[in-house]
Amino acid sequence: MTNSRLLDNRGSGRGVAPEFLVAPQLLDVVSPSGDRGGMVLGSGLKGEPLTISVLRSAPTRMVVVGGLYLARQIALRAMATGAWITVATGRPQAWQPVVRAAGTGPDGRPAPTVQLRRLSPVDLPRPSEDAPLLVVHDGGHVPQELFPPRSPWQTTMYVLPYLHPQASGTANSADLVLLQRLPVGQAQLAAQIWRLPPQMAHQLTTLKDDQVIALGANLWRPLRLVTTPGEQQILGAVRRGD
């Protein structure tokens, strides 16, 4: 699958997505998932739903630039498709809403679907088509390569609060990058990293809080985030930043 196929109009594919069983309460929280194992992230310029293939049969690397809200929303929706979530972070309190959204097991303890870890190497669950794995690396603006995606059905998502020149390697090697609004200096750095023409760099400075640019090989797609009432109860209103 090429990078440009990581984001598609819903219903345009011919593949068959794997099936998962999740708690009905969680389905009330998130938007429906899309085809090919993708999830609805937002809508296009004409209001059409757009999906991203976060969990797929190839090791996948994602970068989210702009803050926690979008990263936590993606984690919630991945969990609703049956994924296991491992969050490596130095700020575990910021991810407690996602942990609580997973619910509890029969013993009353938090469900193991979401696991918080420190920013150090650990053994990860073995991913499969029936139990894909999303590893969230929330380690600041220059992340270490602690959990590189090495197997099918594992996606590592790097959460960058802002772009930094030393993070260009991580950013440039991503299969999919999701960019929220950037200051002028950050947009100029983005233009250097991804060789963007001036008009695209300028567009990054004018995005509203609920707008995102999906960037990949042969891909530049502006979209508007779609947030359900259930997600707003967990995460609050759509915003950029932490």
Sign of the torsion formed by the C-alpha atoms of 83, 76, 56 and 169:
negative
Mean pLDDT calculated for residue range 18-36: 42
pLDDT in tens, 98-116: 999 998 878 888 888 999 9
Q: How confident is the model at residue 165 (pLDDT cuts 50, 70, 90)?
A: very high
**How many helices and strands (H and E) does the chain possess?**
7, 11
Give the residue from 172, 162, 166 showing the smallest Cα distance to 194.
172
**Percent of residues in the chain assigned helix, strand, coil, to nearest 5:** 25, 25, 50
Q: In this structure, are residues 145 and 176 in contact, taking their beta carbons and an 8 Å threshold?
A: no
Measured between its terminal Cα atoms, the distance across the chain in Å is: 32
pLDDT in tens, 193-222: 999 999 999 999 999 999 999 999 889 999
Q: How confident is the model at residue 81 (pLDDT cuts 50, 70, 90)?
A: confident
Domain ranges of the chain: 3-230
| Residue 106, pLDDT score | 82
Helix (H, G, I), strand (E, B) or coil at 203: helix
pLDDT in tens, 107-149: 888 888 999 999 998 889 899 999 999 999 999 898 888 998 9
| Residue 176, pLDDT score | 94
| Residue 21, pLDDT score | 38
Give, in order, the Cα–Cα distances in Å from 175 to each of 59, 157, 209.
9, 10, 23
Considering the segment(s) 3-230 as one domain, its CATH architecture is 3-Layer(aba) Sandwich (3.40)
pTM (predicted TM-score): 0.84
